[in-house]
A and B are shown apart, each in its own frame.
Chain A
């Protein structure tokens, strides 16, 4: 027993000392050098798709795949090694960092853009703006009629993202602040679904990333400030957040090339073109 213990502990210590220092990739498990997978936030998705398209045109050997699923899904995929870049609309949680480190993953985040969360209503609604307190009251069920907040129509139809969404987490932190979401809220799986539902539902209110605004929706002022690039960058608009790409360690190889491209002047033009806000 004692001999076994000594050998086992010595082997474990040797392995622990050696393996973090050297990346150990089995040759048959490695991807082709220029293959890159990115996964996660549906808010970051249109940025990643637009950037990947241009990046692959200028880097013909690169093969970048982009998929959604939510910030939590992307980070989980980074931890289990099934994606190279996790797209996230929220900072990584400490629980996720602990899980990542146990799996030998060191998550490093790069801010690639900024986003404002726009509160949107149906085009037929006369409401112009709400305060954050009014938003909280609507989403917690204390205010149920548009007439109570200067809007038109009757019952407020509340639409929200599900709890796996980084967009919901930020909305929860900045607006609800601990208040319970009204139980009859319609839960949507993506920004696109919210935008489509609000556009066709009189009385509806929802929230989406700035990139999902269109002529089919009406964006409300929040605390008197209209959501725009200018107001997000100068800090006036309060429902704003950075968007991240997380890698295992500092970005390297094709992942570094891709992220460097996004941070370049050309990449930031694409950020702006997709309706998001450039980094300062």
Chain B
């Protein structure tokens, strides 16, 4: 019943957007799909035979609607995120149940570009559910299939509800974002009596482009709450990105630190997570590009043997103006594989993935 209702609502939304586009030339309905095939070998250790699975899935469908009125200085953006997950997924934490297709409002925001109080400053105010401006999570364009470092490891949600000031430094010297969010991510609403979400998250990010081909970005989130349950606790996250590009080559290195007070356990856990990610991409021709990424993530600097290294190699082939084929091999490897009972038996996860990105 719920699944059927969800589909009807989405279809009605899509049809209304098409009708609106027909009537209003400054509106646009668009989006993209990820059509994926995975072959995965995982769960093996010295005493356990690894499992494997191979599946077709549609991990992401973005339905996007944009309406802009440049004269009035306003732009609205709406994104519905629909995905199917192997074996289903719990839609709302703590509520139980599972569905094979889950849908969320990923973005629902309005930009105000003409702000009397700010005068001629090149800036806008964005209100609503929007990207979180941190590290590489909001700038990652998925040259490989995996999410950005902080997204993959659940350090920061890719979108949240709040209000932000987004501006450019004159002469193209850089950009900045300052925001206040709920701090709970886009899959959690603040209007739930079972949750105690009182603290807000404050985000500041600064990008500097001193020369063509070089950029540096620093981001800081303060008092980000994992506020499910009765207790909220301080949670800070910091990221620094150093990147560059020249001709057909581009890349960056990111350093990430998060400090979750609620994860601290005297003598055994620090509550501090540290991660590093490096990426390089090479454009061979207009249609073919190669990509490499390596991450190293330590979920807790005091806990033992929990670090994971991720290695990704990928090739992208532009088939048409609307379709790109991605072929990736990804290895998530425990840095300290266990070899005996009682040892940490975190295992390697090998994935061969092909994904067709269809933009429409």
Binding site for B on A (CB under 8 A): 1, 4-5, 8-9, 11-13, 15-16, 19-20, 22-26, 28-29, 81-82, 94-98, 100-106, 140, 162-163, 168-169, 172, 176, 178-181, 183, 187, 249
Contact = CB atoms under 8 A, between A and B. Distances in A.
Contact of B168 (A9, A94, A140, A180): A94
A187 B25 contact: yes
B337 interface: no
A140 B69 CA distance: 12
B251 interface: yes
Given A20-B214, A163-B26, A104 B168 contact: no
B247 A104 contact: yes
Interface string B66-88: 00111111000000000000000
Q: Which of A19, A26, A102 counts the most B-chain CB atoms under 10 A from its CB?
A: A102
A94 B122 contact: yes
B307 interface: yes
Contacts of B242: 9, 12-13, 16
B276 A179 contact: no
B147 interface: no
Size bracket of the B interface:
35 or more
Contact of B248 (A25, A82, A95): A25
Given A94-B172, A104-B212, A180-B72, 13 more contacts: A11-B253, A24-B246, A29-B285, A81-B283, A94-B170, A96-B172, A98-B207, A100-B212, A101-B211, A102-B245, A103-B213, A183-B24, A187-B25
Interface of B: 24-26, 68-73, 114, 122, 168-175, 207, 209, 211-215, 242-253, 255, 274, 276, 278, 282-286, 296, 298, 307
Nearest to A10: B253
Contact of A97 (B25, B172, B248, B278): B172
Contacts of B73: 178
A12 B251 contact: yes
Nearest to B210: A101
B270 to A, nearest CB: 14
Contact of A8 (B172, B276, B284): B276
Given A9-B242, A95-B168, A162-B26, A105 B252 contact: no
Contacts of A26: 247-248, 282, 284
A97 B215 contact: no
Q: Which of A5, A16, A26, A181 counts the most B-chain CB atoms under 10 A from its CB?
A: A16
Nearest to A163: B70
Nearest to A95: B168
Contact of A179 (B71, B212, B250): B71
A20 B246 contact: yes
B69 A180 contact: yes
A24 B25 contact: no
Contacts of B215: 101-102
B99 to A, nearest CB: 38
Contact of A12 (B26, B212, B253): B253
Nearest to B70: A163
Contacts of B170: 94
A172 B172 contact: no
Contacts of B249: 19, 24
Contacts of B114: 178
Given A98-B172, A162-B25, A187-B26, A24 B247 contact: yes
Nearest to A26: B248
Given A15-B251, A19-B244, A101 B212 contact: yes
Contacts of A8: 253, 276, 278
5 contacts: A16-B242, A19-B247, A20-B246, A102-B245, A163-B68
Contact of B243 (A98, A102, A105): A102
A152 to B, nearest CB: 28
A198 B209 CA distance: 45
A194 B207 CA distance: 41
Q: Which of B168, B170, B207, B213 counts the most A-chain CB atoms under 10 A from its CB?
A: B213
